[in-house]
Chain A
Amino acid sequence: MSYRRTKRDRVLVVDDDASLAEMLTIVLEGEGLTSAVCRSGDRVMAAFNQFKPDVVLLDLMLPGLDGMSVCRQIRATSGVPIIMLTAKSDTPDVVAGLEAGADDYITKPFKNTELVARLRARLRRSDQLASPLEFGDIVLDPAGHTVSRKGEALELTPLEFDLLACLLSDPSQVFTRETLLQKVWGYHHPGDTKLVNVHMTRLRSKIEDDAENPQVIRTVRGVGYQAILPGS
């Protein structure tokens, strides 16, 4: 794992609750992170463009523009990690948020340590690959974090890049969702398979010609996912 220690990581906190937002900044500053607060959904993009955060902490319930829409707005221009803050652990909301492009979510109330662990996990990049990897017609370049297929560059978020790199790095292995959670999301979060499921769907929609009939990553029923060796 490689940490970027050269500068303080910047966290954009988007939450309408003043106390919580302030408390969040206190904790984040205590962890050596720089933070800014935005308290309304419709001002997020302005704050985002101005603050240029390394990660966004986004509450789903926002005045102005709701969290899902904000999520999609950010994703339209940037792959910056987004962690949703949600009071609703009800899965439909969480899945909707993940589908809107959030990388991870954390349910209120949460522990400071848990929050920081997730932030750190999103801020560091996993080093699955030391050198460029060619896999069939897909080429991954870990240095530039770029992916191309048939010579065409693919727009993957850093998380999707890590997920793909993890799977392609060892095609002999079937990765369970638990393993992927640990290796890609970087923390042990047992049983949260929807994180993997939703992102696998997003990843497939970008790299597969037909997401219903995947040619790059196959689902091993009841176990997990595995890269399909080219030509097999």
Chain B
Amino acid sequence: MRRLARVWRRSIQARVVTSTILLSTLVVALTGWALLRDVADGLADSRLSAAVSEARSGFDYAQTQLDATLESEPTTQSQALTQMVDSLTRSRGAARTYELVLEGPLTDDGLAPIRSSAGIDPASLPTDLAHAVRSGPGTFWRYSDLPLLGSSTSEPSVVVGSQLRAPGSNDTYALFYLFSLADQQETLDLVRRALLLGGLAMILMVGGVAWLVSRQVLDPVRLARRIAERYASGNLEQRMHVSGEDDIARLSTSFNQMAASLQSQIRRLENLSRLQQRFVSDVSHELRTPLTTVQMASEVLYDSRGRFDPQTARSAELLKRELDRFESLLSDLLDLSRFDAGAARLELDTIDLSEVARGAADDPVLARAGIEVRLLGVDRPAIVEADMRRINRIVRNLLANAAKYSGSRVVEIEIAQNDESASLAVRDFGIGLSGDENLRVFDRFWRADPARTQGGTGLGLAISREDAALHGGTLQAWGRPGAGSEFILTIPKPDGSAKHPPLVSVYA
């Protein structure tokens, strides 16, 4: 049932064919019904007029006979009436087409003697007809259902009745002709069967035609859909076959034009991106070599600053410090431009976030800065597929951020995981984040306090967030002013997603 509903929902063809069949069934049924009614009426009318005229001639004959038996004795009269019924039923030879019922002489109490052709139950005559015939002169008829002519079952028939009057005794008689309509019924059944079969065949044919026609229209649409799906999945090489000049051909042409224009756009963007990557790579190489020389030279100067006069010595110090800063800025900018160009690539390894956390906590830089690192949840391995260098860089950035800006003396690293992903949280208990700062910390060159510009490039968190996104993971920040801040890195496990991090921030 559900499958049928699905087919109905998804297939235009099924809907077209079904509704065509339903509508044509309705039309065929209506016309069939009207046709059958006309045929039935015609058949009945012609039989009725024949029956009535045959009955009339019978009535005339019977009246003549009745007139002739006028003088006879009552017993003879009775015999004569029986003979008359016999002769009337026999009058058409072997092929008898009617039965007779003669009632009379009629009495007021309705208990008149009855003569009839064999096997007819006079009580089965339509009562209103019998009543009408008994009460006065005239010819009356009714349709009825009677077993006639030796048949054991009722069949449609017409009963014609008339009053006869014996001139002498003034006795009245009721004579009924019972004609079978079985032949007409048979013809009607035949016509009905023919109509039913014809109608059914027509409905099937119309359904088939609807199926064919809808296929003719829908096949190109389906082809277009399949090709569109391929375009959507990035395969732009496919084209639709164009033949003729009809709507389908025009659809195909527009489709192909769309694909071609998409393809050229994408190529243009790819070229741009390639150029950008080349540029980044070239700048990288061209800048790095001289920077290396300058930096080495500055280090040599710095190492010998003890032999310089104070001004030169201080210059050497500034030179070295700012070159270091320049170097980190350059490297961060190059990393960001690689992200922007989509040129950043992961080098995946199976790594344990708990191990990463333990390693990060051991960083002597933290100890030198007087930061106490507490590890939570690192006793159990949290295995993910990730780029070791990038994960380490993220953790390093988060720790540096906590150490430099939060003013916190204690930093917590917590590891948690579920089936889908693993999280590493870096929590501090320093100045915290206020307002929308938890979003703005990831902005490039954003600083909580513009006056505090020493150290760092202002790009660390932006890069970290890009690094996390490259893994299909997330890096989010929470904070409460004066209480502290927390950064949670979530990396999806293989076939998992980072949508539902296993860890909720204590500042959320």
Given A20-B292, A194-B347, A222-B350, verify A112-B359 contact (CB < 8 Å): no
Given A90-B281, A178-B359, A193-B349, verify A112-B299 contact (CB < 8 Å): yes
Q: How far is the CB of A84 from chain B (nearest CB, A)?
A: 14
Interface residues as binary, A212-223 with B (CB distance below 8 Å gives 1, 0 otherwise): 000000000111
Q: How far is the CB of A32 from chain B (nearest CB, A)?
A: 14
B332 within 8 Å of A by Cβ?
Answer: no
Q: Which of A103-111, A136-144, A147-155, A203-211 contacts B (4 or more CB under 8 A)?
A: A103-111
A23 within 8 Å of B by Cβ?
Answer: yes
CB-CB nearest 5 A-B residue pairs:
A191-B392, A87-B285, A109-B292, A87-B288, A108-B288
In the complex the two chains form, is B288's CB within 8 Å of A112's CB? no
Given A87-B288, A88-B281, A193-B349, verify A24-B296 contact (CB < 8 Å): yes
Interface hits, A131-169 → B, CB 8 Å: none
In the complex the two chains form, is A108's CB within 8 Å of B352's CB? no
Given A87-B289, A109-B291, verify A23-B350 contact (CB < 8 Å): no
In the complex, what distance in Å separates the CA atom of A89 from the CA atom of B393? 14
In the complex, what distance in Å separates the CA atom of A192 from the CA atom of B347? 11
In the complex the two chains form, is B351's CB within 8 Å of A222's CB? yes
Partner of B295, one of A89, A109, A221: A109
Chain B residue numbers with a CB within 8 Å of A20 are: 289-290, 292-293, 296
Partner of A193, one of B291, B300, B388: B388
Interface residues as binary, B381-409 with A (CB distance below 8 Å gives 1, 0 otherwise): 10100001101110000000000000000
Q: How far is the CB of B149 from chain A (nearest CB, A)?
A: 98
Chain B residue numbers with a CB within 8 Å of A110 are: 292, 295
Starting from the known contacts A87-B284, A90-B345, 4 additional A-B residue pairs (CB-CB under 8 Å) come to: A17-B289, A24-B296, A111-B295, A192-B389
Interface hits, A44-89 → B, CB 8 Å: 61, 87-89
Q: How far is the CB of B292 from chain A (nearest CB, A)?
A: 4
Chain B residue numbers with a CB within 8 Å of A24 are: 296
A91 within 8 Å of B by Cβ?
Answer: yes
B327 within 8 Å of A by Cβ?
Answer: yes
- Give the bracket for the number of chain B residues in contact with chain A: 20 to 34
Given A23-B296, A191-B388, A193-B388, verify A91-B345 contact (CB < 8 Å): yes
Chain B residue numbers with a CB within 8 Å of A221 are: 350, 383
The residue in chain A whose Cβ has the minimal distance to the Cβ of B289 is A17
B355 within 8 Å of A by Cβ?
Answer: yes
Chain A residue numbers with a CB within 8 Å of B300 are: 26-27, 30, 112
In the complex the two chains form, is A19's CB within 8 Å of B290's CB? yes
Q: How far is the CB of B379 from chain A (nearest CB, A)?
A: 15
A231 within 8 Å of B by Cβ?
Answer: no
A176 within 8 Å of B by Cβ?
Answer: yes
The residue in chain A whose Cβ has the minimal distance to the Cβ of B284 is A87
Interface residues as binary, B198-229 with A (CB distance below 8 Å gives 1, 0 otherwise): 00000000000000000000000000000000
Chain A residue numbers with a CB within 8 Å of B351 are: 193, 222
The residue in chain B whose Cβ has the minimal distance to the Cβ of A19 is B293
**16 cross-chain CB contacts under 8 A:** A17-B293, A19-B293, A23-B292, A26-B300, A88-B284, A88-B285, A90-B281, A92-B345, A108-B291, A109-B291, A112-B299, A178-B359, A221-B383, A222-B351, A222-B381, A222-B383
Interface hits, B338-369 → A, CB 8 Å: 345, 347, 349-352, 355, 359
Q: How far is the CB of A218 from chain B (nearest CB, A)?
A: 14
The residue in chain A whose Cβ has the minimal distance to the Cβ of B363 is A190
In the complex the two chains form, is A191's CB within 8 Å of B391's CB? yes
In the complex, what distance in Å separates the CA atom of A90 from the CA atom of B295? 21
In the complex, what distance in Å separates the CA atom of A206 from the CA atom of B426? 43
Chain B residue numbers with a CB within 8 Å of A88 are: 281, 284-285
B297 within 8 Å of A by Cβ?
Answer: yes
Q: How far is the CB of B6 from chain A (nearest CB, A)?
A: 43
In the complex, what distance in Å separates the CA atom of A175 from the CA atom of B53? 121
In the complex, what distance in Å separates the CA atom of A193 from the CA atom of B291? 27
Chain B residue numbers with a CB within 8 Å of A192 are: 388-389
Chain A residue numbers with a CB within 8 Å of B296 are: 20, 23-24, 26-27, 112
The residue in chain A whose Cβ has the minimal distance to the Cβ of B299 is A112
In the complex, what distance in Å separates the CA atom of A217 from the CA atom of B281? 38
Chain B residue numbers with a CB within 8 Å of A108 are: 288-289, 291-292
In the complex the two chains form, is B388's CB within 8 Å of A109's CB? no
In the complex, what distance in Å separates the CA atom of A23 from the CA atom of B352? 41
Chain B residue numbers with a CB within 8 Å of A191 are: 388-389, 391-393
Chain B residue numbers with a CB within 8 Å of A194 are: 347
Q: How far is the CB of A152 from chain B (nearest CB, A)?
A: 33
Chain A residue numbers with a CB within 8 Å of B292 are: 20, 23, 108-110
In the complex the two chains form, is A176's CB within 8 Å of B285's CB? no
Q: How far is the CB of A41 from chain B (nearest CB, A)?
A: 16
In the complex, what distance in Å separates the CA atom of A111 from the CA atom of B324? 9
The residue in chain B whose Cβ has the minimal distance to the Cβ of A92 is B345
Q: How far is the CB of A21 from chain B (nearest CB, A)?
A: 9
In the complex, what distance in Å separates the CA atom of A110 from the CA atom of B295? 8
Q: How far is the CB of A98 from chain B (nearest CB, A)?
A: 12
Chain B residue numbers with a CB within 8 Å of A91 are: 345, 347, 389
Chain A residue numbers with a CB within 8 Å of B285 are: 61, 87-88
Q: How far is the CB of A105 from chain B (nearest CB, A)?
A: 13
In the complex, what distance in Å separates the CA atom of A178 from the CA atom of B358? 12
